[in-house]
Amino acid sequence: MTIASTLSVDELDAIAEGAAERGEPAAGAAELVAIVDGGRLADPRDDVVALGMAAELLFNADDPAGSLDLTDRAIDAHRRHGTAADFAQLFRARLLFELDRADEAMAELTPLRPLLTTDPDAAAEIAEALLAGGRGETAHEWLSVAVDEARAALPETDDLDDAGELATVIVYALITQRHAVRHELGLPHDALDEMAEELEAAAEEEHQAELTAALSGPFLFLPAAEFARLAERRPDLAESCGPTWEAHRADIEHILATVAETGITGARGIVRGTADELVQLSERRGDDPVDDVLDDYADELDGRGLNVPWPPARNDVCWCGSEVKYKKCCLPRSR
């Protein structure tokens, strides 16, 4: 890989993910630490992100002691930047439990207990830390008390503002986490557990419905000349279709290949659009989010029957308009 002069969070992410996929977490952690130490971050304040990723890689490599060193560095960095180290500290507590330093772990964790009723992500982290230390009973007690407090703080109305929505998400996180801990402890279902299972089932159903909708299309496709024209007239719209035309057609091929594998039925495939129509629609729609405009344009084209059959036979010309055989054009791009 070529060495860029400085790295963004996305690039750090790619390094961490690549190392995990190759089964070389320790090497990935070393690479991330070298980037921090070599001053190669695009934003020096991303050192907390890089060190956190490296700590997680070492944790997954069964090296809790190495992970603890890096977590300590991340916490120091947070203090230097004046940013909240709460979640790094929760991870630190978990590592201390793994290292059989239970007293220190509890000393780290106890002051963070109020996070349970202020941050929806805290319940899972705190429960995991306590379970790692064999303190399921404590997790159960903390979560039960927090659920009561959080439910008492719920707004009376269904018309939620941001604070009300956050309060609801926190209750959901606490109830579902408490449910998991109670299963871990072999406790029978109580009324809150029944509620947890209903909420979990509803969330899963919604998630599946969203996923199916996202995979069903129709997918807006712009031929090369149209994409170029759009990039000239409205670079923002073109950008939403893909960073380049190559990426645009590869994305569509990839998503359709994925849909075909999942066996989702009723997918509406590819629709071919033009730059001029898209720009006109976008102007009519004013401040509407770009993704909504793109989706609605694709629906409109689908309604007009402007669909492009997919997949072509291997030896037929490609759907993308390149006039090259499918097997030599977009087919290999799906992989």
Q: Which residues bind Zn ion (CB under 5 A)?
A: 318, 320, 322, 329-330
Shortest distance, CB of residue 328 to Zn ion, whole angstroms?
9
Considering the complex, what minimum distance in angstroms separates the CB of residue 186 from Zn ion? Answer: 11
The answer to whether 221 and 271 are in contact (CB under 8 A) is: yes
On whether the CB atoms of residues 126 and 139 are closer than 8 A, the answer is yes
Q: Which of residues 77 and 308 has its CB atom nearest to Zn ion in the complex?
A: 308
Query: 3-class DSSP state for residue 325?
Result: strand
Using DSSP, state whether 7 is helix, strand or coil: strand
Whole-angstrom distance, CA of residue 37 vs CA of residue 332: 40
Edge to edge, the sheet with strand 270-272 lists 219-221, 270-272, 307-308
DSSP code of residue 269: -
Would you say 240 or 322 has its CB closer to Zn ion?
A: 322
Nearest distance, CB of residue 325 and Zn ion, angstroms: 9
Phi and psi (nearest 5°) for 132? -60, -30
CB of 183 to Zn ion, least distance (A): 6
Smallest distance from Zn ion to CB 330, Å: 3
Of 12 and 196, nearer to Zn ion (C-beta) is: 196
Beta bridge partners of 272: 221
C-beta of 20 vs 224, nearer to Zn ion: 224
CB 8 within 8 A of CB 42: yes
Nearest to Zn ion of 93, 329 (CB atom): 329
